[in-house]
Amino acid sequence: MCFKINFNSYGEKAIIIDFKNNIDKNIYVAWQSELCISLQKEFHDILEDVVFSFSEITLFFKILPNRVHEKKISTWIKNFSLTKQHILRNLWEIPVCFDEVFSEDLLVKSENNSITYESYISEFLKCIFEVHHYGFLPGFLYLSGLPLKLHLPRKPTPEKYVAPGTVAVGESYVGVYPQKSPGGWNRIGRTYCSFFNNKNNPPCYTLPGDKIKFISISLDEYQSQIDKIHQNNIPKSSSFEIIY
């Protein structure tokens, strides 16, 4: 893995590592996630938390960081990048009901044309998405891999209430709302699965680099399952290996 990194202070006890490279960030999202996990373990005595986004990693320190810490961490990252990584991730199969009662926004975008509406869902179900990062809400996954023809612009006026389990599209990303909240993404379906439980460790069972495949279910199946499912329900998955 070849890259340049810059260290930028972020308040008194945080440093942002800016990865200066031009490769597609989706190529190494699992590697970047594994780097964060490894940094947390290696420097557990001085690091409170490690969080990554598109091209940055933020280190939250327990102490006031200095140049010595930066140099030590920089050297460690460069050595890590030269080591061959075998990273285990999962493909999750998420049941989703695409009944019109859960896809108000897609109906609007389709101008109530059933052919356009059904064509979108059909193409959407062919996709396999990648967990890119978390954001917005605890357990809200930003899923990449949506074809350009399926992109939907964010709504100009967000909804005040979006139900838990809502599958939605915002520009090039797909997300699943883990709890009720306001939201400006386009609702296209709903699942009874939950991605987040703050009683678990870790609270979110998916990792960046995991794959997501949505499976269509009927409204009857959704309704029969929703009352039986509790927060720590884990959907079907199969593992695969990524080598860097």
CA distance 156 to 161: 15
226-to-18, 33, 183, 219 alpha-carbon distances in Å = 42, 32, 22, 11
Query: Of 99, 15, 24, whose CA–CA distance to 62 is shortest?
Result: 15
3-state secondary structure of 227: coil
CA distance 209 to 91: 9
**pLDDT score for 146:** 97
Type of residue at 95: P
- Find the Cα–Cα–Cα–Cα dihedral 95, 99, 101, 103, rounded to 10°: 80
Q: Please provide the size of the chain in residues.
A: 244
**pLDDT score for 68:** 93
**pLDDT score for 196:** 82
**pLDDT score for 88:** 92
Other beta carbons within 10 angstroms of residue 172's beta carbon come to 15
**pLDDT score for 155:** 92
Query: Of 65, 74, 63, whose CA–CA distance to 19 is shortest?
Result: 74
Paired tokens of 150:
């399926």
Cβ-contact 150, 164 below 8 angstroms: no
CA distance 135 to 101: 26
Would you write out the chain's pLDDT as a tens digit for each of its 244 residues? Answer: 566 678 888 899 999 988 766 544 545 788 888 999 999 999 999 999 998 876 788 999 999 999 999 999 999 998 998 888 889 999 999 999 999 999 999 999 999 899 999 999 999 999 999 998 888 888 898 999 999 999 999 999 999 999 999 999 999 999 999 989 999 999 999 999 888 878 777 788 899 999 999 999 999 999 988 876 554 567 888 888 888 7
Q: Identify the structural domains of the chain with CATH numbers, from first to last.
A: 4-83 (3.30.1360.40), 90-243 (2.40.100.10)
**pLDDT score for 27:** 54
What DSSP state is assigned to residue 152? B
Secondary structure string (H, E, C) spanning 96-137: EECCHHHCHHHHHHCCCCHHHHHHHHHHHCCCCEEEEEEECE
